[in-house]
């Protein structure tokens, strides 16, 4: 068994299976108990994720559906139904992008912002406290670290996510410095 996190072939295949099965169970329980926690507001965990994402300062003026889908790591098709239900409840709206009249942006409505701030946020805080009972701050930091490592590996397995990541890296890279053509100085 390697200590550097190398491959999993040298260790018991059962250990990897247990880890992934436990992750699957946690995801299912998050969905079940998270939806139950917000039952009074008829909000599912998928809707919770969308509303939470839209509260980010970067999305305050709205976000394109494709960008929201990429942020949440879901398909546009899966997101479309969630957005339709949230629109029907008047929690989100589609607005015209000020930079491109052909594009639409998704943003919280005042009713959606009020729902999030006044109702959901306290319930979610209590839910987090209960779900993370017995976890120290250090435990939580370690868990985020390991889940981030796994997420990076999942993205490497997903050709669409890898292509998006490469595109984001290219977009974030500074523009190359313009080439300065040296003009020979006139001879005297």
Query: How confident is the prediction along the chain (188 residues), in pLDDT tens digits per residue?
Result: 445 555 656 668 889 999 999 999 999 999 999 999 999 999 999 999 999 999 999 998 899 999 999 999 999 999 999 999 999 999 999 998 888 888 889 999 999 999 999 999 999 999 999 999 999 999 999 999 999 999 999 999 987 765 665 665 565 556 555 555 555 555 55
Predicted model pTM: 0.77
Burial of 153 (C-beta count, 10 Å sphere; 0-12/13-18/19+): exposed
Give the pLDDT of residue 21: 96
pLDDT at 102: 82
State the residue for tokens 């670290």. 145
pLDDT of residue 177: 52
Both tokens assigned to 108: 């919280």
What pLDDT, on the 0 to 100 scale, is given for residue 1? 44
CA distance 142 to 120: 27
pLDDT score, position 186: 59
Q: Given this model, what pLDDT does residue 48 score?
A: 97
As a whole number of angstroms, the distance between CA 100 and CA 20 comes to 43
Report the pLDDT value the prediction gives residue 13, as an integer from 0 to 100. 84
């Amino acid at each position: 068994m390697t200590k550097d996190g190398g491959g999993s072939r040298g260790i018991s295949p059962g250990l990897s299976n247990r880890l992934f099965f436990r992750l699957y169970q946690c995801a299912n329980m998050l969905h079940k108990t998270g939806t139950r926690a917000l039952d009074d507001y008829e909000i599912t965990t998928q809707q919770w994720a969308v509303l939470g994402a839209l509260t980010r300062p970067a999305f305050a003026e709205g976000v394109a559906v494709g960008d929201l889908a990429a942020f949440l790591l879901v398909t546009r098709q899966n997101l479309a139904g969630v957005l339709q239900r949230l629109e029907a409840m008047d929690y989100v709206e589609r607005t015209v992008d000020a930079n491109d009249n052909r594009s639409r942006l998704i943003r919280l409505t005042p009713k959606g912002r009020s729902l999030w701030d006044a109702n959901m946020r306290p319930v979610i805080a209590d839910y987090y406290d209960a779900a993370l009972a017995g976890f120290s701050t250090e435990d939580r930091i370690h868990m985020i670290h390991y889940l981030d490592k796994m997420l990076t590996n999942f993205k490497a397995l997903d050709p669409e996510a890898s292509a998006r990541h490469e595109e984001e890296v290219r977009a974030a890279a500074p523009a190359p410095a313009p080439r300065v053509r040296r003009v020979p100085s006139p001879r005297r």
